[in-house]
Structures are given as C-alpha cells and as structure tokens.
Amino acid sequence: MKYKIAVIPGDGIGPEVIREGVKVLRAVEETQPNLGFDFVEFPYGAEHYLKTGELISEEGLDELSKMDAIYLGALGDPRVKTGILEQGILLKLRFYFDQFINLRPVKLYPEVPCPLRGKGPEDIDFYVVRENTEDFYVALGGRAKGRTREQLEVLRSLYSAKFGLDIEVDKDEVAYQIGVISRKGAERVIRYAFELAKRKGKDLVSSVDKANVLSHSYGLWREVFEEVAKDYPDIRTEFLFVDAITMWFVKSPEWYQVVVTPNMFGDIITDLGAMIQGGLGMAPGGNINPEGVSMFEPIHGSAPKYAGKNRANPIAAILAGQMMLEHLGEGEAAMRIERAVVKVLTEWKVRTPDIGGKSTTSEVGDAVANAVREIEAPE
C-alpha cells in the first residue's frame, strides 16, 4: 500500500524534527515490501505568511483533502502576532477536516527521566482523548466598549446582578468568550474513548469536567457520558473535576487508563501529561477524524530559540509518525518504530540534552532509523 502524506514542516524546530520523522518512515518503508510513502510538502507557516500574506488557501485545503494523512511539525513565530498562525492554520485544519478527536498517549518509556519520585514506565501508560472542535475553541465572543447603552445593557445587568459592579457603558471594556458543547459533539468523542478502551484492553474510562461550577455546558457533558457508558457495561467509569485530575496525575498516574475531556481542559492536562512522561520532546499527538483526513504532530511548540541548532528532541515527531501508521492500519510498521525508539533509549548511546544526553537532532533520527532496519520483525 502506498500512502500520500502531506508534510507541513512549519516553524522553528518543526522542519528539523519532521525531517527526522520522515527519515524514520523511509527506513520503515525499506523493511516493509508492500508499504510506501509519497510525501508531498506544503509551505504553510510563518515564512509563507510573511512573504505572501496567505495562511492557508482554499486550493491548499482541497489538495490536502486528497491526502491520506497530514504530518505537521510546529506552528508559531515571534514575528507573527500570537494566534494568527495557530488559528489561521492549525485550528482551520482541525475544523475543516472535522478532526474532532485529539488523541494523546501519555507513556513513560524506559530510561527516560521522570520528575515524579518513585514512578516508572509501569506507572505511566494511559491515553487522553480530548474533544477537539468545540468548547471555548469555537471562537464565539468579542469585546464591548463605547457602544450604545442598549448594546451593553445585557452585560451591564449581568455584572450588576452577579457582582454588584456597575460598569460605565461608555467607558469600560468587557471581553467575553462563549464555550459551546453539543450533544452530538460530546457523544462522538466520548464513544471514541470507550471504543479505544475496548481496543486497547482497558477497563476504566475517566471523564473530566467542571460541572460543579460550569453546570450548563459540562452538565450536558456528564449527561452524555452517562448515556454512552450504558453501552459498555464491562468498562468502569468515574467523574473527576479538572482541578482534581491535575493533582491525581501527579500523585497516582498509574490509576488512569483512558481519560476523556472537553477541549479546554484537555489542552491543559495533556501538557501536564507530557511532563510526567519525560517532557514535551517525548509527547506525540493525533488530530483524528476516523472517517476523514487526520493530522499527526509532536505536541511541543516551535521553540524558536532552538531553531537551527540541531538540538531539539525528534522523538515526539517520530512517535507522531508511529501514531499515523497505526491510524492508517499499518500496525506492524507502527510497532517497529516504537520498538526502535525503545532500543535507542535503553542503549543510552544517543539522546538529546532534554533527556540527559548530548546528541543532536539528526543523530537521534539516524539512530532510530538504523534501529528500525536492524530489529527483527514484530511478532
């Protein structure tokens, strides 16, 4: 099978880590006679935007829709105002392709330093399933300042009733952001979490919310979770408030198997998950539409201060490639990459500074690619 893979190297360290990810995928290609890749590079990112004023065109989206998957490096550049690239490219891709699942494996690999005392690989191995297209990311909101009294009357009344604060409608400024959770959006991501638990042999799905305070939106989330759970009687369930789960991720990460969460909270807790698995350089992620074009990326940012220095850890990008293969149904090839990463890590010969070594980005990519070629086929 030959797959067409869109490659968006992006900004900062993105091109460096994606280069190593492609290198490892090419090595996999050498070991699998019936597997091939046609990599098609797209220029979207800061340089393209600064030169052309274009974020991503309709023609570009049409071309991307013809691909089997998207492989993304990173987005973000200090020369571009925060939010422009992220909203204009990353979020646009997620929404355009309805990538309603953000899948984050939180897994501590052998010989990777963990900041949690006494915790090892046997303790940190779970998944976070984050809803990816709703909540506060639907971009509904705005600011109100100096408008007519009628336009601001609702906000003025709200502030007066809730806080005893009488805002001056002609002078004061109010910003508001509206979070949206639909029954359909919640149901499909929660059901994906239960199906993932079945597929991976897990028997606990934990739901995250803040229904005690934000009762309208997250009350609906809880209601849908309870309804979906009835279809999976063999899987245990629990509810956790988002503030509590941040504590328990640190104290007892071994408890968790599959965690499902609305968008905003998932954005926050997955970075905590990355740190307990050894740092952002070890953390891959997938933006998934089970029936459409999905996108895979390291979850770290563009880290512009390290760009061009050949010192960024490419393992997150390499493991994002591994996730992409698994999603495409190439389980044997995906397992080969993971085994190669474990081999390189346990040998302690080649590793980047963030996990205790002195190797370069390209040296780690070379080592993993060589390990892919050398290890025996997965059983």
- Which residues are tagged catalytic? 137, 210, 243, 267, 271
**Distance, CA of 340 to CA of 363 (rounded, Å):** 14
At residue 105, the 3 state secondary structure works out as strand
Residue 50 in contact with residue 84, Cβ under 8 Å? no
Sort residue 330 into left (φ over 0), alpha (ψ -120 to 50) or beta. beta
Which amino acid makes up residue 211?
A
For 246, the token pair is 């941040």
Contact between 207 and 224 (Cβ < 8 Å)? no
Residue 346 burial (CB count, 10 A): 12
**DSSP H or E run through 95:** helix 92-96
* Alpha-carbon radius of gyration of the chain: 22
Vertex 316 angle, CA 312 and 317, to 5° = 85
How distant, in Å, are the alpha carbons of 59, 84, 118, 202 from that of 50? Answer: 19, 11, 48, 47
Alpha-carbon span 170 to 152, nearest angstrom: 9
The SS3 of residue 185 is: helix
Burial letters 152-167, b for 16+ CB under 10 A, else e: beebbeebeeeeeeeb
Structure tokens, 194 = 């239960």
Calpha distance 67→8 (Å, rounded): 12
User: What are the structure tokens assigned to 221, written together?
Assistant: 């989330």
- How does DSSP assign 29-90, residue by residue? HHH-TT-EEEEEE--TTHHHHHHHS-S--HHHHHHHTTSSEEEEEE---TTS-TTHHIIIII
Closest CA relative to residue 325, chosen from 101, 27, 14: 27
* Paired strand residues for 284: 298
